[in-house]
Amino acid sequence: MRPLRLGILGSGKGSNFLALARAIQAGVVPAEVVCVASDQSQAGILELARGMGLRIFVCRSGSFQTKLEPEIEEELAEELSRAGAELVVLAGYMRVVKAPLLRSFGGRIINIHPSLLPAFPGLKAWEQALRAGVKETGCTVHWVNEVVDGGSTIRQLKMPVQPGDTAESLHARIQTAEHRLLPEVVRDLASGKIAWERDPRRI
Ligand code: GAR
């Protein structure tokens, strides 16, 4: 089977992207990264992608923090299409996905989120979990739709919140789990073990 072509979108340091790239390189995930895009020109994820010699794309920043203007998101969608992305992976992408991306890639976008959704959608989910005093949290990979962190769950990993956990220690533990979960989900989508909302190989 030919490798699944991935477009990656991230705003931050890119540790989830790195875990995925390493799993691909190790031959564990039958995929290839065709484009790494970011809305933050200084993001660590771009530095990592450059170091790997991958195609990168930086969005114009626009005038909102939480979303891209439609014409900017359209440029992003066009770039991902030109690169041949079949699955779009949100790996720490911190803006809301709107119509332009959903029109082109609806049913083919996944997101990794640092909580057990539907609990704690939105920003800094690990801090929300600590404040709420829950005994258990984790991470979720889900399909992306127009509702923020609201698409259907694909798979989750759970872990206990430990006495004495700080926001930092809890997020670090969640991230270790994320680095396992995201490559596993991409592997299972690539092999057909997980059902797609909209399979690119059937479009
Ligand atoms: C990850 O913990 C990811 O779950 C979170 O941002 C971090 C990115 O880290 N995403 C969200 O909160 C999205 N709602 P990374 O840049 O090291 O992969």
What is the position in ligand 1's atom list of the atom closest to the CA of 11? 16
**What's the structural domain count of the chain?**
1
202 falls within a domain: no
Tell me the pLDDT tens digit for each residue of 120-161: 999 999 999 999 999 999 999 999 999 999 999 999 999 999
125 falls within a domain: yes
Non-local (6+) Cβ contacts of 123 within 8 A are 94
> What CATH number does residue 19 fall under?
3.40.50.170
Q: Give me the sign of the Cα torsion angle 145, 150, 152, 153.
A: positive
User: Considering only CA atoms, which residue is closest to atom 1 of ligand 1?
Assistant: 92
201 falls within a domain: no
3-class state of residue 8 by DSSP? strand
Structure tokens that stand for 181 in this block:
């979960």
Rounded to an integer, what distance in angstroms lies between the CA atom of residue 111 and that of residue 140? 8
197 falls within a domain: no
For the whole model, what pTM was predicted?
Answer: 0.97
Rounded to an integer, what distance in angstroms lies between the CA atom of residue 105 and that of residue 86? 8
The angle subtended at Cα 175 by Cα 138 and Cα 121, nearest 5°, is 50
54 falls within a domain: yes
Tell me the pLDDT tens digit for each residue of 34-69: 999 999 999 999 999 999 999 999 999 899 989 999
3-class state of residue 43 by DSSP? coil
49 falls within a domain: yes
Ligand 1, CB cutoff 6 Å, lining residues: 10, 12-16, 91-92, 112-114, 125, 149, 175, 178
Segments forming the whole domain that contains residue 170: 4-192
22 falls within a domain: yes
68 falls within a domain: yes
